Amino acid sequence: MESSIAPHLVCPRTRTRRIEDDYAPPYPCWSARASTSVEQVVMGYFGVQSRGREMHGKACVALMKMAETFGQTDGPRHHDLAHFVDAQGYDNMIAIAYWDDPAAFARWRSSAKVDAWWSSDERLHDGIGYFREIVSPRVEHYETMFNTPDRLEGVGIAMGSISGDIQEHGYWGSARDRIPLAQTDALSPAGALRVVGDTPAHGRRVRIEGHDNLAIIRSGQEWTETRGKERELYLQDMEPVLREGMNFLRDRGASIGCYSNRYMTHIDAAGKPAEKTFGLSLWRSLGDMERWSESHPTHVAIFGTFMRIVQELQFQLKLRVYHEVAVLKPDEQEYEYIHCHPKTGLLNVLAAA
Amino acid sequence: MESSIAPHLVCPRTRTRRIEDDYAPPYPCWSARASTSVEQVVMGYFGVQSRGREMHGKACVALMKMAETFGQTDGPRHHDLAHFVDAQGYDNMIAIAYWDDPAAFARWRSSAKVDAWWSSDERLHDGIGYFREIVSPRVEHYETMFNTPDRLEGVGIAMGSISGDIQEHGYWGSARDRIPLAQTDALSPAGALRVVGDTPAHGRRVRIEGHDNLAIIRSGQEWTETRGKERELYLQDMEPVLREGMNFLRDRGASIGCYSNRYMTHIDAAGKPAEKTFGLSLWRSLGDMERWSESHPTHVAIFGTFMRIVQELQFQLKLRVYHEVAVLKPDEQEYEYIHCHPKTGLLNVLAAA
């Protein structure tokens, strides 16, 4: 058993972990590991927003166009495609791309093909919306967790490697205990979201600056390989409760510090959905995220049901779960929305305020 | 809003709380307050154990005899009577008595009437069992929590007063954040239970020494005043799950650090049960108690259901819940079992070992 925090990121704690040194988790979990030369990663959420069947084809073409540029020199190490219909009835498709080198990302984004297309005024008149939410946590500022060691997801794929069994999981607050910076820092939020450039309105190009210690989580599950009782438990007991929780965050999250939530389904390049979903949310702080996750009846129920399944199935789970959580400095965040409706992403909280 | 830790017990923290300073709990709770002159309290569990209808009358007489002595000079400030049938089919009745002055307790216990009766060899031959589990935490070593401010329970009654709304509750790990000593101490367990005097066997008088930072919790609920939907939610959704959790701890708790668990019902002096129960358990450590409470599906479900009820009923709960948790030094513990079966209280773990 080892710490989730990679050895070269461990430092003397001034802030206490929640567990004793002899704590043994109730089931195994793993964290992704990058090479020690990796100092910062980039998680790029590239979105396309459209409404109605007529515009959907155009949106798909735009998504594919963006994904095509991932194949260029300096493109990401990994990307996923995902879809969800938001509360306003818009289709949102996102290509999520991961780099383990911000310099490579910078070269990619400033390449003629990527930059010219994104910066073009035509994007305001395509009849569909676009957004980019790009977060670039330094390695001290994020953590990952997987309940299976044989296949990574998300940023873990870009990181490329995996830890041994980790100690900091299976209890509330363990995400914080896995973040290297939390060894010495309370990760308290400071400042506020701020619009830069154009004023937010549908049909505009709006940029938003993030504030200190804004937190993001991508938390996923895949039930492709589940069978029989486990599949039934997931689909009948867990998924409906998960959906209820995701809807709460989407519709009423702003009141408790959740700026935005999307409950997304993986799709392939042809748009076919996989048995694989994730929640993607942005929060005022890690503390707000912790408070919701451990006190909202839906999330508490999900955790309880998961623990029950784990025990009933004697730890032989086929359900894959993972997450990645980052707590971000202002210079690690960049949000831009083009012709998106005012409830999109962070626009949502600005509209409310 | 104030800290659960009474002002005169607050000291500079070397160990971090789980919450930010601006944390606002999702519903109100209170802690009991004693006069600042109180340095240590005594929680005495005086038990009578019998089997079958024939012996029950005798056990009741013995219980009443013990309770009678509470009325003497230096008797407790408060006591409760409670009953449960253990996994071995024995009736166990306990008089739980609270003092806010260990010197008064010492005088009471050494009074002729109390001491002569307890020490008499006749107790080994009454055909019923007796036990005393007496824990005497200093005020730095325990905490209390109530969801209603209008009536206290347990040690709170002996303490006599109540705080304002407290900040440290509504999140996992809040019990630790309420214990004054946890401001500077990890409350890690050390040592092991040790038999002193007679070897443990049914029909003997066995004394057990507790070890450093053994933890005890009394966690109760009263549904007397609930009506309609709330009553239904408690009786149909919460109680069966609570019972399942209590049974798990009773039957399989030893594997996870729970030495003993009793799920008890309040009774009046005539033996009539009230709509009021509590779980009473002894643990290797506060850490073990935390791990169970926040990861066992039954307890997680109870917490989730409670949070749901709180929200559904718009915080207008008639269900009363409270608990008291102490983490004990060896000199704050005293356990003695007379003619009790080998699964009684702490004998349970010694028998297993």
pLDDT of the residue at A295: 86
* pLDDT bucket at B243, cuts 50 / 70 / 90: very high
pLDDT of the residue at A202: 63
- A296 and B305 within 8 Å at the Cβ level: the answer is no
User: Is residue B199 over pLDDT 80?
Assistant: no
Min mean pLDDT across A201-215, B139-153, B303-317 is at: B303-317
Look at B315 and A172; give whichever has higher pLDDT. Answer: A172
CA dihedral B251, B252, B253, B259 (to 10 degrees): 60
pLDDT of the residue at A301: 84
Give tens-digit pLDDT for A279-296: 999 999 999 999 999 988
Number of CB atoms found within 10 A of residue A312's CB: 13
* pLDDT bucket at B320, cuts 50 / 70 / 90: very high
Contact with chain B for residue A203, Cβ under 8 A? no
User: Is residue B218 over pLDDT 80?
Assistant: yes
Give the integer Cα–Cα distance in Å for B341 and B348: 9
Q: How many angstroms separate the CA of residue A316 from the nearest CA in chain B?
A: 17
Give the integer Cα–Cα distance in Å for B338 and B46: 11
Q: How many angstroms separate the CA of residue B296 from the nearest CA in chain A?
A: 7
Contact with chain B for residue A304, Cβ under 8 A? yes
User: Is residue B302 over pLDDT 60?
Assistant: yes
Q: Across the A/B interface, how many CB contacts are shorter than 8 Å? A: 73
Q: What is the ipTM of this complex?
A: 0.88
- B296 and A307 within 8 Å at the Cβ level: the answer is yes
Residues A223-237, mean pLDDT to the nearest whole number: 92
Portion of chain B with pLDDT greater than 90, in percent: 86
Give tens-digit pLDDT for B334-345: 999 999 999 999
pLDDT of the residue at A269: 92
Contact with chain A for residue B26, Cβ under 8 A? yes
pLDDT of the residue at B201: 64
Q: How many angstroms separate the CA of residue A156 from the nearest CA in chain B?
A: 26
Token duo for residue A103? 């310099």
Average pLDDT, chain A: 94
pLDDT of the residue at B154: 98
- B297 and A308 within 8 Å at the Cβ level: the answer is yes
User: Is residue A353 over pLDDT 70?
Assistant: no
Could you tell me which residues come within 8 angstroms of residue A245 by beta carbon, excluding any fewer than 6 positions away?
Answer: A296, A298, A299, A302
User: Is residue B203 over pLDDT 70?
Assistant: no
User: Is residue A201 over pLDDT 80?
Assistant: no
Q: How many angstroms separate the CA of residue B36 from the nearest CA in chain A?
A: 29
Portion of chain A with pLDDT greater than 70, in percent: 97
Question: CB–CB of B253/B281 below 8 Å?
Answer: yes
Q: How many angstroms separate the CA of residue B276 from the nearest CA in chain A?
A: 24
Portion of chain A with pLDDT greater than 90, in percent: 86
pLDDT of the residue at B71: 96
Give tens-digit pLDDT for A146-168: 999 999 999 999 999 999 999 99
Give the integer Cα–Cα distance in Å for A48 and A27: 39
- B186 and A16 within 8 Å at the Cβ level: the answer is yes
Instruction: From chain B, pick out residues whose CB is under 8 angstroms from the CB of A300.
Output: 300-301, 303-304, 307
Token duo for residue B191? 């040592």
User: Is residue A42 over pLDDT 80?
Assistant: yes
Instruction: Catalogue the active-site residues of A.
Output: 323
Number of CB atoms found within 10 A of residue B110's CB: 10
- B172 and A173 within 8 Å at the Cβ level: the answer is yes
Suggest the residue from A242, A295, A307, A312 to mutate for an interface test with chain B (most B CBs closer than 10 A): A295
pLDDT of the residue at B353: 54
Taking CA–CA distances from B309, the nearest residue in chain A reads A297
- B301 and A301 within 8 Å at the Cβ level: the answer is yes
Contact with chain B for residue A308, Cβ under 8 A? yes
Can you name the residues that pair with A325 across neighbouring β-strands? A143, A217
Min mean pLDDT across A33-47, A291-305, B106-120 is at: A291-305
- Out of B173, B300, B308, name the one closest to residue A173 (CB): B173
pLDDT of the residue at A203: 67
- Out of B20, B291, B307, name the one closest to residue A295 (CB): B307
Give the pairing of strands A273-283 and A320-328.
unpaired
* pLDDT bucket at B109, cuts 50 / 70 / 90: very high
Average pLDDT, chain B: 94
pLDDT of the residue at A352: 57
Number of CB atoms found within 10 A of residue B343's CB: 18
Give the integer Cα–Cα distance in Å for B77 and A239: 51
pLDDT of the residue at A265: 98
Catalytic residue among B79, B211, B323, B339: B323
Residues A264-285, mean pLDDT to the nearest whole number: 97
pLDDT of the residue at B198: 65
* pLDDT bucket at B307, cuts 50 / 70 / 90: confident
Q: State the number of CA atoms in the 13 A half-sphere of B232 facing the CB.
A: 3
Look at A34 and A307; give whichever has higher pLDDT. Answer: A34
Could you tell me which residues come within 8 angstroms of residue B103 by beta carbon, excluding any fewer than 6 positions away?
Answer: none
User: Is residue A122 over pLDDT 70?
Assistant: yes
Question: CB–CB of A8/A92 below 8 Å?
Answer: no
- A172 and B170 within 8 Å at the Cβ level: the answer is no
3-state per-residue secondary structure call for B178-226: HCHHHHCCCCCCECCCEEEECCCCCCCEEEEECCECEEEEEEEEECCCC
Min mean pLDDT across A269-283, A339-353, B47-61 is at: A339-353
- A171 and B308 within 8 Å at the Cβ level: the answer is no
Angle at A111 between CA A105 and CA A116, to 5 degrees: 120
Tokens 């995902």 correspond to: A82
